Chains A and B, each alone.
Chain A
């Protein structure tokens, strides 16, 4: 397997769970109220360790996407506080990448130049250096053959892989994914789920993953937050005990299916509360 960033791999990975001290990401009493008075998120508490893969799942309107925007600093919170590796969200953007529901590729740039975008905006890297990095990442997601194509020539799944490659190009410590595979068919989604886990083995980035799919959440995460709506709150946290690396066959294992059942019933409970 190709590793584009050999230096950092083990350092982050091995210290992930064993280091005592302050958690990597902390959310305290995080509340978000819209200008019209609707409270979309209320009193969210969370401690996140390095390397955690956290799925946020819940009915629409529970504020899971809003929570992601608060963590990324794209949207200000009303009260409470968020600390990311000792920084406020706005200052932590250099170590974060956001992957949107649509691939958000720039149609006027080639695939390779799209992957370079983050590096280019940050500056401090020569054009050849950026281009070499982009090629490496495209190789990593298996798309080196389309590096000089334009996004319109790619399928939805390929676009998403380009989007992932772009997000990883800046070597983020935190990956925020807002329903990235929601618009894809199930086979492509399963494949990309496996890709995400494989890529995570490389850099051990901490991940927040918003999804509507229970099996996707169980397959990917080590922690699942089930949110309820009106106001958005964490209803229940479910731990996923399966070890990494996970393989596709896990999806048909009885333990997997029973955990899917547990998350589904938690979701049903949340929905009936409404």
Chain B
């Protein structure tokens, strides 16, 4: 009991401090609710809109998880291929870096244009953003086996397959997990980015669809988003960061 208490006292204290600080700041500085609503207002909005939010959460979670799982399978296969030779890595690695450095907001519209703006395309956006961390980390793990361990396997006349299954793959597992941790988080960003573009075609069904839906309602101080001046959906530059923040908040609360 005592140990349990010591484990949880600080995380709980910090959480309460953040919530109280947030509520206090809203009160103290008289921040209008359409700039920053207090925690209670947000909680009320979540409860009030729980059905919509829950639906949106499930759609987005499905898309994010789908892209994530696909990226794990494809990433491991590609990493196994990359681990075969330095020539392969030198020739193909730059393209994976390209995949990583080109902003996902630049790729997403193309994918939606090519593959239509359904769940599949959104999943593909999540997949692309998740792929690089898996490839990079797994490849690193596969090729960084200590030389002595490789020699040990050579001395046992191990086949290439044994070398891969009994040495390289298990050795790469910790690295793979680093990749999984990074990609797990960004898969949601990928899915939401995909949805933003999908919803601009009025076909998306996830968070941004809900966002649109909410924006079209009369302005309400319980809603933590400000609609455009004339009640229209706000322009894209405005929508993008807020939409992300809001969806992140919704995901946390749901």
A interface with B by C-beta (< 8 Å):
72, 74, 93-94, 96-98, 100-102, 104, 106, 108, 117-118, 120-122, 170
Contacts and interface: CB of A to CB of B under 8 A. Distances in A.
A74 B157 contact: no
A120 B152 CA distance: 13
A117 B149 contact: no
Contacts of A100: 148, 151-152
A248 to B, nearest CB: 30
Interface residues of B, number: 17
B153 interface: yes
23 contacts: A72-B155, A74-B154, A74-B155, A93-B154, A93-B155, A93-B157, A98-B152, A100-B148, A101-B148, A104-B148, A104-B149, A104-B152, A106-B149, A106-B170, A108-B170, A117-B152, A117-B156, A117-B166, A118-B156, A121-B153, A121-B156, A121-B157, A170-B156
A81 B227 CA distance: 84
Contacts of A108: 170-171, 173
B92 to A, nearest CB: 27
Nearest to A97: B155
Contacts of A120: 166
Nearest to B155: A98
Main secondary structure of the interface of A (DSSP, over half): mixed
B146 A104 contact: yes
Interface in B136-170: 146, 148-149, 151-158, 162, 166-167, 170
Residue picked from A74, A102, A120, A121, most chain B C-beta under 10 Å: A121
Contact of B156 (A93, A101, A102, A106): A93
B166 A121 contact: yes
A117 B158 CA distance: 10
Contacts of A94: 157
Closest 9 CB pairs of A and B: A121-B156, A100-B148, A121-B158, A108-B170, A104-B148, A98-B155, A118-B156, A74-B151, A104-B152
A117 B167 CA distance: 11
A98 B173 CA distance: 26
A164 to B, nearest CB: 13
A74 B157 CA distance: 11
A40 B155 CA distance: 23
Nearest to A118: B156
Contacts of B148: 100-102, 104
Given A117-B166, A121-B166, 14 more contacts: A74-B151, A74-B155, A93-B157, A97-B155, A98-B152, A100-B151, A101-B148, A104-B148, A104-B152, A108-B173, A117-B152, A118-B156, A121-B162, A170-B156
